[in-house]
């Protein structure tokens, strides 16, 4: 049974007021709120278990290690990785993508090609540009049409023996558009031996992820967008690929032996987890997975899709509104502007006075904004705890902002 009020009761922050109004939190694509079960795990770690992991024989260290490794196994099951050591703890999606781009440096050379798309977050653009600068490789970008949909005929033309990396997001953070990654992966496999990287930052909170079925080489996502603490994230990589590639950071934990004459590296996953990890956060990421499993992926997806459909229908009744990607398959996000209102942030500030939290600006996707010839959008994004009543409040807030700003 899906009980929205029972779910909302697990998020204490939803009871607060902002500017004298009940909080309507619609900035979930930036970060989600955390259920009490996750917060309790964080608190319990620091009050009952606080110790460094993998490095001590004392009881607290052993217990903390057990809890973090249990979390790793939960995440392994969550994304259906074949091995738990294919699950690497990171600070988030950005670090995961930078890690991949760095360790692939020796695999690329001048005039090799990297394919990304027009719908990428800056975190899936800049690391590849930096890799091109290091190696002389070239970046190719799958264009979009006026609806924000990838033009796959261009992708077909791009694929060649020069293609060494294909890196795309599963869901656009700016527009919520769901990209055809299954098709992208299948075509890449058929025509090249390129590495396939999937940015799952906006899909892991909403979809059931199966990395083995997808057959991607890497999959990255952030914990803080799926009810876990900030500073947590996951890099999944296929065992044979991670074992063959070099480390990212050097230091403690990632060594097998270290001397002034040379160093040998630890096995997976520790080869890629140098330094003290975010132990409490990593354990709490497992608790966030538990929360999502209790609610159920089908329930989450059905509720959020219903919210999106309702929000779009209600907003489109406002004269002069423009929803970007309106005709594309989307999830979790409605991104819009009002005709005659020059600055999206002005709308956001008026909504904030009404207790409504949305995101305004370019959403770290300046190429998308340039394509539509706009500076930014107002983005409302949904999570499992949002309600239809909150969307009604949003719609009335947008109408008020339009009256004040037009």
- CA–CA separation, 248 vs 164, rounded Å? 19
Residue 398, token pair as written in the block = 């947008």
- CA–CA separation, 315 vs 393, rounded Å? 11
End-to-end alpha carbon distance in the chain: 44
Residue of 132, 216, 258, 364 marked catalytic: 364
Element (H, E) at 21: strand 21-22
Q: Is 258 a catalytic residue?
A: no
Element (H, E) at 100: helix 93-103
The answer for residues whose C-beta is within 8 angstroms of residue 139's C-beta and 6 or more apart is 113, 114, 116, 128, 129, 132
Helix residue ranges, H only, 206-362: 211-214, 239-244, 279-295, 297-315, 344-353
Helix residue ranges, H only, 192-296: 211-214, 239-244, 279-295
Catalytic residues: 364
């Amino acid at each position: 049974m899906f009980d929205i009020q029972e779910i909302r009761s697990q998020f204490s922050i939803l009871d607060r007021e902002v500017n004298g109004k009940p909080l309507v939190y619609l900035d979930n694509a930036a970060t989600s709120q955390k259920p009490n079960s996750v917060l309790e795990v964080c608190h319990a770690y620091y009050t009952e278990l606080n110790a460094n992991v993998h490095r001590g024989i004392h009881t607290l260290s052993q217990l903390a290690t057990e809890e973090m490794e249990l979390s790793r196994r939960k995440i392994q099951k969550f994304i259906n990785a074949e091995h738990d050591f294919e699950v690497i703890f990171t600070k988030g999606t950005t670090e995961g993508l930078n890690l991949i781009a760095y360790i692939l440096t020796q695999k690329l050379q001048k005039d090799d090609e990297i394919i990304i798309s027009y719908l990428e977050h800056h975190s899936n653009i800049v690391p590849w540009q930096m890799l091109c600068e290091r190696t002389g490789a070239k970046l190719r970008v799958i264009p979009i049409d006026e609806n924000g949909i990838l033009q796959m005929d261009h992708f077909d033309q791009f694929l060649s023996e020069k293609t060494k990396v294909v890196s795309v997001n599963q869901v656009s953070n700016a527009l919520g558009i769901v990209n055809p990654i299954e098709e992208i992966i299948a075509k890449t496999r058929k025509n090249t031996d390129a590495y396939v990287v999937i940015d799952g930052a906006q899909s892991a909170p909403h979809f059931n992820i199966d990395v083995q079925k997808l057959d991607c080489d890497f999959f990255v996502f952030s914990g803080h967008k799926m009810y876990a603490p900030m500073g947590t994230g996951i890099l999944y990589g296929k065992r044979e690929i991670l074992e063959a590639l070099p480390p990212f950071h050097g230091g403690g934990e990632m060594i097998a032996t270290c001397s002034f004459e040379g160093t040998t590296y630890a096995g997976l996953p520790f080869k890629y987890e140098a330094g003290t990890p975010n132990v409490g956060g990593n354990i709490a990421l497992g608790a966030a997975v538990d929360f999502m499993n209790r609610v159920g992926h089908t329930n989450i997806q059905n509720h959020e899709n219903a919210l999106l459909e309702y929000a779009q229908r209600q907003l489109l009744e406002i004269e002069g509104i423009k929803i970007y990607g309106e005709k594309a398959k989307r999830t979790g996000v409605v991104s819009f502007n009002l005709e005659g209102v020059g600055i999206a942030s002005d709308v956001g500030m008026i909504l904030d006075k009404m207790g409504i939290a949305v995101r305004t600006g370019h959403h770290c996707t300046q190429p998308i904004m340039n394509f539509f010839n706009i500076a930014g959008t107002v983005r409302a994004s949904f999570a499992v705890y949002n309600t239809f009543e909150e969307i009604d409040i949003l719609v009335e807030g947008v109408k008020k902002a339009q009256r004040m700003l037009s």
